[in-house]
Amino acid sequence: MRYSLASVLLNAVSGQSRWSPAWRSPEPAAHYDVVIVGGGGHGLATAHYLAKHHNVGRIAVLEKGYVGSGNVGRNTTIIRSNYLLPGNTAFYELSLKLWEGLEQDINFNAMVSQRGVLNLCHTDGQRDAYVRRGNAMRLNGVDAELLDADQVRAFVPFFNFDNARFPIKGGLLQKRGGTVRHDAVAWGYARAADRRGVDIIQHCEVTGLRIDKGVVTGVETTKGFIGAGKVALAGAGHSSRLAAMAGMRLPIESHVLQAFVSEALKPMIDTVVTFGAGHFYVSQSDKGGLVFGGDIDGYNSYAQRGNLPVVEDVMESAMALWPALGRVRLLRSWGGVMDMSMDGSPIIDKMPVDNLYLNAGWCYGGFKATPGSGFCFAHLIATDQPHAVADRLRLDRFAHGALIDEKGVGAQPNLH
């Protein structure tokens, strides 16, 4: 059923009895034209854009857990496109534009809220870097505003501006950035793809790739063999394991990233703010919880939980920026497994095995990229050509030295 005022009214007068499940739960067919491995945000978005824009035949999405159980339901819901380097700027801007039209596209309320993303700076050098980034963004048609200390104070007056060690000198604001209800993104894309005929098969883990003379012909799964014309890997933190099934290694390490939510509070903050002197960023959900996160724990991990030093580090940063949080109680913390690439930027490319495609290396920026990633990955799968805004996100850029290293720290994934 298409969601509309009419459907709401119909159910209002019929005891809410006319709703149907948002997507089917089919058994896998013997063969699909495209099999997408990974039913997270990126896999589901890929399925949606493949079915909508490209005529590729039957499509299946295989998810080892349930829809929304992975990183798409574990992130801190922030969207933005404030990137400096060619290869990233245009890609993330396409993604942000797709966010802006997402709800109409998929007929689902994802609660896209363009409440702004403000990066605070605390030193003259950091401000210079933000000026450079903001200028690069504006040259690429992306909105960016540099705020001085007084403008920051007027925008978010409740922070500690008199911190002797980390004075707030200003900030880089992207007003079109904001937050999106992450679960709704997974559900909305799943429903939209399902309505276009995509089979979403949950609790179906891929255990192997069948490769015949350098061409992938299908996937071995916990529900048996599924033949495939093309196989697209969107396994996020488990991408290295999927690549290993094709006998390949990737320029990726898996690391755990923790996030936190506080008890529900009255409205305290109506934007997204990142602390520039420590690992802390914060926004407030519509339920009232303060959602915040920090940096990755910094060592290889497939555990969806982290350790206490990072928890303490994030809380210390929170207190340095926003002393009013001192009496707030933490409700939950959790971890997600990040596919940290060697330059901090993602990969959307063909694999050396024919008909095998890779979408990986999202580090901890995967959520904001969901629509753009799906859109460009679908384009690559359908046409065998990279989309124009994703043509630098190549797997072979490491061997050729064409890295996209926003932080400039080199091949150390735990520092990106």
Partner 1 sequence: MRLPCPYCGERDSREFTYRGDATLTRPAVESEMADYVYQRDNPLGWHKEYWLHTVCRTWLAVERDTRTHALGPVSIARCERVGS
Q: Which is nearer to partner 1, 197 or 247 (CB)?
A: 247
The least CB distance from residue 64 to partner 1, in Å, is 13
Does residue 399 interact with partner 1 by CB under 8 A? yes
414 binds partner 1 (CB under 8 A): yes
Bridge partners, residue 247, by sequence: none
Show the binding pattern over residues 348-387: x = contacts partner 1 (CB under 8 A), - = does not: ----------------------------------------
d(CA 37, CA 232): 6
Q: What is the DSSP letter of 328?
A: P
Query: Nearest distance from residue 219's CB to partner 1, in Å?
Result: 18
Total binding residues toward partner 1, as defined by CB under 8 A = 24
Element of type H or E holding 105: helix 102-106
Among 4, 25, 300, 385, binds partner 1 (CB under 8 A): 300
Q: Is 210 in the site for partner 1 (CB under 8 A)?
A: no
Helix (H) or strand (E) holding 216, with range, is strand 215-221
In angstroms, what is the minimal distance from the CB of 239 to partner 1? Answer: 9
Q: Does 252 bind partner 1 (CB under 8 A)?
A: yes
Q: Token digits for 384?
A: 């065998």
Q: Does the protein bind partner 1 through residue 301 (CB under 8 A)?
A: yes
Range 247-252 contact pairs with CB under 8 angstroms and sequence separation of 24 or more: 248/351, 248/352, 248/353, 250/347, 250/358, 250/360, 250/361, 250/395, 251/341, 251/342, 251/343, 251/347, 251/361, 251/395, 251/398, 251/411, 252/339, 252/340, 252/341, 252/342, 252/360, 252/361, 252/413
CB 366, min distance to partner 1, A? 17
> Where would I find the beta strands (DSSP E) of 107-205?
117-121, 145-148, 170-174, 178-179, 199-201
Q: Find the binder of partner 1 among 103, 205, 398, 405 (CB under 8 A).
A: 398
Q: Which of residues 138-167 bind partner 1 (CB under 8 A)?
A: none
Residue 358 contacts residue 349 (beta carbons within 8 Å): yes
Taking the C-alpha atoms of residue 237 and residue 402, their distance in angstroms, rounded to an integer, is 23
How far, in Å, CA of 171 to CA of 179, rounded? 19
Dist CA 395 CA 296 (whole Å) = 23
Q: Which of 342, 347, 348, 393 touches partner 1 (CB under 8 A)?
A: 342
In the complex, least distance from residue 98 CB atom to partner 1, rounded to whole angstroms: 30
* Rounded distance between C-alpha atoms, residue 39 and residue 264, angstroms: 30
Smallest gap from Cβ 301 to partner 1, in A, equals 5
The nearest distance, CB 253 to partner 1, in angstroms, is 5
> Identity (one letter) of the amino acid at 36?
I
Least Å from the CB of residue 394 to partner 1: 13
Residue among 199 and 253 whose Cβ is closer to partner 1:
253
In the complex with partner 1, the residue whose CB is nearer, 333 or 414, is 414
Of 191-199, 273-281, 293-301, 345-353, the window that binds partner 1 (rule: CB under 8 A) is 293-301
Tell the residue number behind the tokens 């992207």, with chain if given. Answer: 174
Closer residue to partner 1, CB minimum distance, 114 or 304: 304
By the criterion CB under 8 A, which residues form the site for partner 1? 238, 240-241, 244, 249-254, 298-303, 307, 309, 342, 398-399, 411-412, 414
